[in-house]
Amino acid sequence: MSNKIIIAIDGTSSTGKSTIAKRLAKRLNYVYIDSGAMYRALTFYAIQKEYISKTHFESNKLINDIPNIYIDFKQNKETNKFEVHLNGVSVEKHIRSLSVSNLVSKIASIGKLRKPMVKIQHFLGSNKGVVMDGRDIGTVVFPNAELKFYLDASSELRAKRRFKELVDANHDISYNEVLNNIILRDKQDISRKNSPLRVASDSIVIKTDDISLDQLENKLFSYVTPLLSKK
Ligand code: DC
């Protein structure tokens, strides 16, 4: 019998979820799934098709296209990193832009768009051995996950981290734009009707303000080890 588990990492944006999820997955030889990248890929598709902009959103057109939209993750042979693919093409480079970040919450608020994403997430986790991060992984996608974490940090610190990442990736952006986007996305993620961001009752809540990545990794890992030896 497999002794692999599912680890769900939820929380507000830019709390270090993906960085820490990747580290845990590497340490455990698990698969890392960035569920936010799936909503971002869908948003990128909708922008390209001109279904969504700052001023309009034709959600029905996007919903109608769902049977023809294929989202999955494949390893980049050069970097060894898993990248999100939209209809067979890596869109990893495009999905972190502010234009996608500003519109993704609108897409993620639609139940008929979340459902097919959750179906893919269930498939990806069907053999366990996954670390998946997002907003509803411990509450909706894998409510029976063996281990659930909820990460949070102040908006200012999260904006600082995100701003640095974007500047390092050559995005032309101001700190205030990043901060405003983070505040708005939190609000939208928490207040939406479908699968809002919530702390699962059995989640381990961790504040990431005053903790280094190494410390955070070790802290999370300390919860993993006892579970693996129990199996
Ligand atoms: O983690 P992220 O910032 O890349 O996620 C992008 C957006 O997708 C975020 O604003 C909320 C949404 N999201 C979601 O609704 N459910 C998830 N499981 C993951 C992300």
DSSP 147-167: EEEEEE--HHHHHHHHHHHHH
The sign one gets for the Cα dihedral 36, 142, 149, 105 is positive
- pLDDT band with cut points at 50, 70 and 90 for residue 228: confident
pLDDT reading at 74 higher than 70: yes
| Ligand 1, pocket residues at CB < 6 Å | 13, 35-36, 39-40, 104-105, 108, 134-137, 185, 189
Amino acid occupying residue 106: K
Q: Is 187 left (phi over 0), alpha (psi -120 to 50) or beta?
A: alpha
**Using CA atoms, how far apart are residues 120 and 157, in angstroms rounded to an integer?**
32
| Structural domains in the chain (count) | 1
Nearest Cα residue to atom 3 of ligand 1: 13
Q: Is residue 230 part of a domain?
A: no
pLDDT reading at 230 higher than 70: no
Residue 170: what pLDDT?
85
Q: Is residue 223 part of a domain?
A: no
**Structural domain range at position 171:** 6-218
Burial tier of 85 (Cβ tally within 10 Å: 0-12, 13-18, 19+): middle
Q: Is residue 85 part of a domain?
A: yes
CA of 229 to the centre of ligand 1 (A): 32
Mean pLDDT of 12-34: 94
Confidence (pTM): 0.93
DSSP 8-state class, residue 66: G
- Token readout for 91 is 């869109």
Q: Is 6 left (phi over 0), alpha (psi -120 to 50) or beta?
A: beta
Mean pLDDT of 69-82: 91
Contact 150, 205 (CB under 8 A): yes
Residue 48: what pLDDT?
97
CATH number at 27 reads 3.40.50.300
Q: How far out from the chain centre does Cα 9 lie?
A: 9
Contact 150, 206 (CB under 8 A): yes
